[in-house]
Structures are given as structure tokens and as C-alpha cells.
Amino acid sequence: MHVLCPVTSPPLLETRGLTKIYGGKTVLAGVDLVVERGETVVVLGGSGSGKSTLARLLVGLERPTGGHILVAGRDLVGLPEDELARERQRFAMVFQKYALLDSLTVYENVAFPLRERRMSEREIRERVMRQLDALGVADAAKKLPAELSGGMAKRVGIARAMVMDPEILVYDEPTSGLDPVTSRVVDELIDEVRERFCVTSLVITHDMATAWGIADRVVLLDGGRIAIDGPPDVVLASDDPRIRPFADSSGVDPKRLGHRKQRSSPAEVRARWEQRRPAPELRERRSLADVLFSRA
Ligand SMILES: Nc1ncnc2c1ncn2[C@@H]1O[C@H](COP(=O)(O)OP(=O)(O)O)[C@@H](O)[C@H]1O
Ligand SMILES: [Mg+2]
């Protein structure tokens, strides 16, 4: 077994026997996945393997048919609505096609998740602008999504996901439909967000190069289960016939992957997260700006 970072007990996120059945069709047949705080886990899987379904279950857009989702050891399945809603704020999703609302400005798109909460206009403004600033798109605040480049739209999508100050960011196919050069820019952005916000990331993709570039751990979703789980160098170099097809779809031969960029380890990200974040009971009171720009 490969231990990539000292294991925290309990892990930040764990699924046990997670299942999803749609009208008699079993899409997830018992997903067992552990994600430690600070890790970037890349979930590989073919088209229709249930990757988006897994993402939707994790962020709470859908309910599982069976199994458990544990966050810091607490089972979300069976929690009362209000407590579930609070736990769900620990997750955010960056959608495949950014999912920005066309008729709203960048500012209003990012403010959107805050509008449902009782928050003063001043606090909303502060949070949104700091978030846009952190992602380098503050100048685009008044623009409409149609006026943005793909790269900027991606940054705005991430700003919106981050505005509620989540601990776990789930990206659904962040590079799908992008050319290889732009895809690598998006990989860098995911790494930048991790460095900056110390988030734990789950990146769902079929892009081998993404897996190689940013994963601390790679898992393969196949047959409704986690079929392979390990460090990227081991998983991507394996002769397992379930891994090979990803080389073709991404144009990257897993056996000829080059040099990996030096990145922070999950343990380093976790240590920084713990330094910078207040205890959960205080988080409600502090704005993202306080957390981001405070000196530990
Ligand atoms: N809401 C739904 N109702 C019925 N079937 C669904 C629904 N969502 C997804 N599916 C089916 O579940 C399977 C997995 O879908 P999905 O999770 O989107 O796969 P992936 O993201 O890996 O391509 C597909 O066969 C899809 O048709
Ligand atoms: Mg999908």
C-alpha cells in the first residue's frame, strides 16, 4: 500500500458502498473511496461510467440509493435537512460547462450562492470582489459570460464555487472539449487554487495528462466501483487494460509521461489549511476574506 500522506483519522471524505440506481440501472455499485485533507484525487473513468453521478452525490445534488458518505467521520446519509445543508457547504462543484448564468454579470454569478443567505450587500460585495481578485478576474466583474474567454469563464466558475469557502472542491471534467494547451493551463489553475486556498480536490476526468500533472492519487471508476487506486506513477504506468484506453482519448501514452512538476505534498497543504482556518464553529462568523488574508 502506498501512503502518500500521514493518514488522518477519520479522513476528510469517505464513501462506503455508495450506490446509485436509476430506474433499474445500476450506475454506482458500491464505491469505496477515501480522500485525506489536502489531497488532489483524480477520478478517471470512461464515458458513462458514473463520474458525474458520483460528483452529484458528493455535493448533494442527488441522493444515493444506498451506502454512506462520511465527512470527517460524520455520515451525511440520514442527517436531518438543516444539518445536511450545513455539512454540504463543505463541498462545492465546478461544473463541466462552467454553468454560468448567461443573463447575469460575472459579479452576480459569483454572488449567486450568497444571495440565498442572509448577508448584507456590503459583505456580499466584499466576498465577491476578493474572490474575483484572488482568481485574477476582478476586471471582468461587470461583463456577461458571453464576453469572457474560455479561460476567464473557468476562473469565474471557480470563483463562484469558492465563494462559500468550501473545503472540498469537485471538478467535473474540467478539460473536456479543450485543446491540449488550454487543458494544461486549466490543470495549472486547479493547482493554483489548491495552493492558494488549501482545498482538497476531487478532479473527475478522462484526461490522462491531467491525472499525471496534478494528482496525488489516481483512482479508476469502472463497473460502478473504484477498480484501481494508487499514486499516479504506478497507476498510469500499469499494463492494466482498463487504464490503457485513456491514453488514446487524451493522446498521452501513460508509459511516456514526462517530468512531473514539483508540487506541495498533501501533508503540506493540510498543514497550511489547519494554520489558516479557524475552528469550524468560528467559520460562520468569519468571511472568506478574513480567512484568506489573515496571517497565520
Ligand atoms: N438522471 C438520470 N436518470 C437516468 N439515468 C441517468 C441519469 N444520470 C445519469 N444516468 C445514466 O448513468 C450513467 C452514468 O452517467 P454519468 O454519471 O453522467 O457518466 P459519466 O459522467 O461518467 O459520463 C449513464 O448511463 C447515464 O445515462
Ligand atoms: Mg460526466
Say yes or no: CB of residue 22 within 6 Å of ligand 1: yes
* Contact predicate 12/200, CB 8 Å: yes
pLDDT at residue 62, as a whole number: 92
pLDDT at residue 294, as a whole number: 45
Q: Quick check: helix, strand or coil at residue 24? A: coil
Neighbouring-strand partners of residue 200: 168
Residue that wins the pLDDT comparison between 182 and 287: 182
* Contact predicate 36/213, CB 8 Å: no
* Contact predicate 29/22, CB 8 Å: no
The C-alpha cell 497507476 sits at 235
Distance 221 CA to ligand 2 centre (A): 12
* Contact predicate 219/42, CB 8 Å: yes
pTM over 0.75: yes
160/128 Cα distance (integer angstroms): 8
Say yes or no: CB of residue 270 within 6 Å of ligand 1: no
Distance 52 CA to ligand 1 centre (A): 7
155/137 Cα distance (integer angstroms): 7
Omega before 254 within 30 of 0, i.e. cis: no
pLDDT at residue 6, as a whole number: 52
As a 3-state breakdown, the chain gives helix, strand, coil percent values, each rounded to 5, of 40, 20, 40
Of 50-54, 214-218, 272-276, where does mean pLDDT reach its minimum? 272-276
Distance 172 CA to ligand 1 centre (A): 13
Give me the mean pLDDT over the 178-199 stretch.
88
For residue 218, the 8-state DSSP code is E
To test the ligand 1 pocket, which listed residue (18, 26, 53) has its Cβ within 8 A of the most ligand atoms? 53
- Specify if 109 maps to a domain: no
pLDDT at residue 278, as a whole number: 56
Distance 206 CA to ligand 2 centre (A): 10
Residue that wins the pLDDT comparison between 124 and 150: 124
- Specify if 203 maps to a domain: yes
Count of other CB atoms within 10 angstroms of residue 82: 7
Count of other CB atoms within 10 angstroms of residue 115: 10
Say yes or no: CB of residue 49 within 6 Å of ligand 1: yes
The single-letter code of the amino acid at 172 is D
- Specify if 246 maps to a domain: yes
- Specify if 140 maps to a domain: no
- Specify if 232 maps to a domain: yes
For residue 168, the 8-state DSSP code is E
Q: Residue 19: is its pLDDT beyond 70?
A: yes
In the chain, the number of structural domains is 1
Count of other CB atoms within 10 angstroms of residue 77: 15
Q: Are strands 13-22 and 66-71 parallel, antiparallel or unpaired?
A: antiparallel
- Specify if 254 maps to a domain: yes
- Specify if 176 maps to a domain: yes
Range ranked top by mean pLDDT from 9-23, 257-271, 276-290: 9-23
The residue whose CA is least distant from atom 17 of ligand 1 is 50
Q: What is the CATH number of the domain that holds 257?
A: 3.40.50.300
The residue whose CA is least distant from atom 13 of ligand 1 is 48
211/232 Cα distance (integer angstroms): 7
- Specify if 136 maps to a domain: no
Distance 241 CA to ligand 1 centre (A): 23
User: Containing domain of residue 274, as a range?
Assistant: 13-90+166-294
